[in-house]
């Protein structure tokens, strides 16, 4: 209840049409020369002081990438990306590897303060009501600070930049990196494998319930920089972790490329809850600029009775190409996908999920809420498949689309492949419009048009918002209201 009102409050207090995170931080960066070749791949690897096996892994990916073509099946249109016109590495100069926050460029800390990210542990610890969230902050290509490391280490949880894990836990990285999203998986994932710069690494030991939310904030600052982060989360037997990523970027006239890879591995009886609140810059009213993201996110329910749950609130970016998926390998494993995808202005969203049932008695659940406004296009693309040995596979899918205005589009593209006769797949889909009568009804009770829209939209997405960790649900709700500003009237 309070959250709805909070949303409305927020709509009132924020300047309409302004992307709040559009500032650029004046930080000296170390930039790789533009372009991509074996030399750049080696440069990145050398910058990270990586062992030879890691360099070779990257090079293999790069060589593979040269043989691949960019996929074009998604319902998105954009200018051809010139992969030679991008920087593949950018780091704030004082980094990499500050030992403590005192070594971090104060300008950078100010940037994070503007973003509302609690980097300073003591701040978080001091506030009685503030959520306890461990944060890993990634600025352009480099992880700049990870909080609460010591406390997490006490229970054996490893939470650090992946560039660090390569050195401190090579056995884990070697074993799991690329085991869910293979180097050869797809054009963008392969590119990421060659040039990924940083990201978060999480390992939860057997039987441990991670004592706090883990969170990563990604920020693209430098011009003409691609961001290629790589996240790897392993939940060992019987463990639990909840993880959240948040993303923002400055306003730039040109498109910025973002090609991330996220890999999750859940062993027997383990559970991973992965939430995303994404608000990259979406471009201006004419569709100029904005982040183009081609993201491969996949979870492997490797163990019996394991569980992976994706929740995403996608409001930003010019183009979103993202399908958080679950491979339900372990018997009795469960995959979930809860999504709110909002498109406004000239945004193009092509997002959904894949639930691949391989083990026996596996279950999956998909709840997708797409909201289109302005001149945007919003596509849900999903695949539910059951292998012939996946007896007793069950899926429930619900895809709802809400249209605001006359010039936007909503599309639903569900694929189903039942290879086993005992599979039970259910699919429900609706498309609706916020009716003028609904708006008038709310207005006749005292709400203005924007408040009324925010209220109706929040009602529409309620099922999904409830899946977010409490402290982020409020943030997400604000974001939803902000991203729909100017869509009515």
Whose Cβ is closer to other proteins: residue 101's or residue 449's?
A: 449
**Among residue numbers 5 through 24, which ones bind other proteins (CB under 8 A)?**
5, 8
Nearer to other proteins, 422 or 443 (CB): 443
The residues, ordered by sequence, that sit 6+ positions from 71 with a Cβ below 8 Å of its Cβ are 186, 187
Minimum gap (Å) between residue 439 Cβ and other proteins: 9
Question: Contact, 351 vs 314, CB < 8 A?
Answer: yes
* Distance of alpha carbon 55 from alpha carbon 462, whole angstroms: 45
Rule CB under 8 A: is residue 129 a binding residue for other proteins?
A: no
Inter-CA distances, 3 with 340, 367, 474, Å: 17, 21, 6
Q: Identify which of residues 2 and 126 has a Cβ nearer to other proteins in the complex.
A: 2
**DSSP letters spanning 396-432:** EEEEEEEE-SSS-EEEEEEEEEE-STT-EEEEEEEEE
Q: Are 350 and 384 in contact (CB under 8 A)?
A: no
Q: Which is nearer to other proteins, 27 or 434 (CB)?
A: 434
Nearer to other proteins by C-beta: 69 or 444? 444
The CB-of-14 to other proteins minimum distance in angstroms stands at: 16
Tell me how many residues contact other proteins (CB under 8 A).
28
Task: Tell which phi-psi region holds residue 317, choosing left (phi > 0), alpha (psi between -120 and 50) or beta.
Answer: left
Whose structure tokens read 């999904």? 464
Q: Indicate the residue among 53 and 440 with the shorter CB distance to other proteins.
A: 440
Judged by CB, which is closer to other proteins: 272, or 434?
A: 434
291 vs 342, beta carbon nearer other proteins: 342
Q: What is the CA radius of gyration of the chain?
A: 22
- Least distance in angstroms from the C-beta of 55 to other proteins: 51
Nearer to other proteins, 37 or 432 (CB): 432
Nearest CA to 58 among 179, 231, 178, 187? 178
Using the CB atoms, write b or e for 368-385: b if 16+ within 10 Å: bbbbbbbbbbbbbbbbbb
CA-wise closest residue to 240 among 282, 206, 281, 270? 270
Residues 6+ apart with CB under 8 A from 330: 266, 268, 301, 302, 303, 304, 305, 306, 359, 362
Alpha helices in 67-148 (DSSP H): 106-114, 121-126
Closest to other proteins by CB, 314 or 451: 451
Bridge pairing between strands 230-235 and 255-258: unpaired
Report how far residue 152's alpha carbon sits from residue 201's, in angstroms, rounded to the nearest whole number. Answer: 13
Query: Shortest approach of other proteins to residue 340 CB, angstroms?
Result: 12
Is the CB of 179 or the CB of 438 nearer to other proteins? 438
Smallest gap, in angstroms, from Cβ of residue 136 to other proteins?
34
Buried b (16+ CB within 10 A) or exposed e, 281-316: bbbbeebebbbbbbbbbbbbbbbbbbbbbbbbbbbb
Query: Hey, which residues between 416 and 475 contact other proteins (CB under 8 A)?
Result: 435-438, 440-449, 451, 455-456, 458-463
The answer to whether the beta carbons of residues 188 and 296 sit under 8 Å apart is: yes
Nearest partner of 245 among 282, 273, 210, 267, judged by Cα: 273
Closest CA to 237 of 274, 275, 203: 203
Least CB distance from residue 171 to other proteins, whole Å?
Answer: 47
Distance between CA atoms of residues 230 and 201, nearest Å: 8
Binding pattern for the stretch 205-244 against other proteins, x by CB under 8 A and - elsewhere:
----------------------------------------
**Residues forming the site for other proteins (CB under 8 A):** 1-2, 4-5, 8, 435-438, 440-449, 451, 455-456, 458-463
């Amino acid at each position: 209840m309070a959250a709805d009102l909070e949303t409305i409050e927020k709509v009132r207090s924020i300047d309409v049409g302004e992307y709040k995170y559009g500032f650029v931080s004046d930080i000296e960066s170390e930039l790789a020369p533009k372009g991509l070749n074996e030399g750049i791949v080696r440069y990145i690897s050398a910058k990270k002081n990586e062992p030879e096996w890691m360099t070779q892994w990257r090079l293999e990916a790069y060589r593979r990438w040269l043989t691949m073509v960019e996929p074009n099946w998604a319902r998105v249109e954009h200018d051809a990306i010139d992969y030679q016109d991008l920087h593949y590495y950018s780091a704030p100069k004082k980094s990499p590897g500050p030992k403590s926050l005192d070594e971090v460029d104060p300008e950078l800390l100010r940037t994070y303060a503007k973003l509302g990210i609690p980097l300073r542990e003591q701040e978080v610890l001091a506030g009685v009501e503030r959520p306890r969230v461990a944060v890993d902050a990634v600025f352009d290509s480099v992880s700049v600070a990870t909080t609460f490391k010591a406390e997490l280490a006490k229970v054996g949880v490893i939470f650090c930049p992946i560039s660090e894990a390569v050195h401190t836990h090579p056995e884990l990285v070697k074993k799991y990196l690329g085991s869910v999203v293979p180097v050869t998986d797809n054009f963008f994932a392969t590119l990421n494998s060659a040039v990924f710069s940083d990201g978060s690494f999480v390992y939860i030991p057997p039987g441990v319930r991670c004592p706090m939310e883990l969170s990563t904030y990604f920020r693209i600052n430098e011009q003409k920089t691609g961001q290629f982060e790589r996240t790897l989360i392993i939940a060992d037997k019987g463990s639990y972790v909840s993880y959240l990523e948040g993303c923002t970027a400055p306003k730039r006239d040109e498109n910025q490329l973002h090609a991330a890879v996220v890999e999750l591995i859940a062993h027997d009886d383990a559970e991973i809850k992965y939430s995303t609140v994404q608000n990259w810059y979406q471009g201006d009213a004419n569709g100029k600029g904005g982040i183009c993201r081609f993201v491969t996110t996949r979870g492997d329910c490797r163990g019996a009775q394991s569980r992976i749950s994706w929740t995403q609130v996608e409001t930003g970016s010019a183009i979103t190409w993202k399908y958080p998926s679950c491979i339900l390998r372990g018997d009795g494993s469960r995959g979930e996908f809860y999504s709110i995808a909002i498109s406004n202005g000239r945004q193009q969203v092509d997002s959904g999920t894949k639930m691949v049932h391989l083990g026996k008695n596996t279950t999956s659940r998909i709840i997708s809420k797409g909201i289109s406004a302005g001149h945007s296009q919003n596509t849900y693309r999903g695949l539910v498949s059951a292998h012939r040995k996946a007896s007793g596979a069950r899926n429930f899918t619900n895809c709802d689309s809400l249209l605001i205005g006359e010039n936007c589009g909503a599309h639903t593209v569900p694929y189903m492949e039942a290879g086993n006769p005992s599979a039970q797949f259910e699919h429900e889909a609706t498309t609706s419009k916020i009716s003028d009568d609904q708006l008038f009804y709310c207005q006749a009770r005292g709400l203005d048009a924007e408040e009324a829209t925010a209220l109706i939209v929040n009602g529409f997405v309620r099922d999904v918002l409830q899946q977010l960790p409490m402290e982020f649900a409020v943030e997400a709700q604000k974001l939803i209201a902000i991203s729909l500003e100017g869509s009515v009237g």
